[in-house]
Amino acid sequence: DHSNGQCAVIGGFVYRGTRSPALAGQYFYADLCAAWVRSFTYAGGAVTGRTSWTLKVNLGSVLSFGEDARGEVYVLSSNGTVYGISAP
């Protein structure tokens, strides 16, 4: 659906880190043009929860996601910054 300024889903990672236990098991993804970040959990063959995140900074466009060896998830922004994902 390319309505409302959406143009391309940017796939991410499932959060498996320890810094924000409340995020455990959530899959993070974004839209390139609409500048939103969302997540969902998946269990038993079904989506069990969806979250649209309110961002504390202006990311511009989300270009990519990354994950480190500890399972922490990061967002690469078009403003040239890499942000770590953490619970509010």
Q: Which of 86, 83, 84, 27 is nearest to 60 (CA)?
A: 83
Query: How far apart are alpha carbons 43 and 13 in whole angstroms?
Result: 16
pTM (predicted TM-score): 0.87
Domain boundaries, the chain: 3-84
* pLDDT tens figures, 14-48: 999 999 999 999 999 999 888 789 999 998 899 98
Backbone angles phi, psi at 63, to 5 degrees: -95, -35
- Relative to beta strand 73-77, strand 62-67 is antiparallel
* pLDDT tens figures, 68-88: 999 999 999 998 999 999 987
Rg of the chain over CA atoms, in angstroms?
Answer: 13
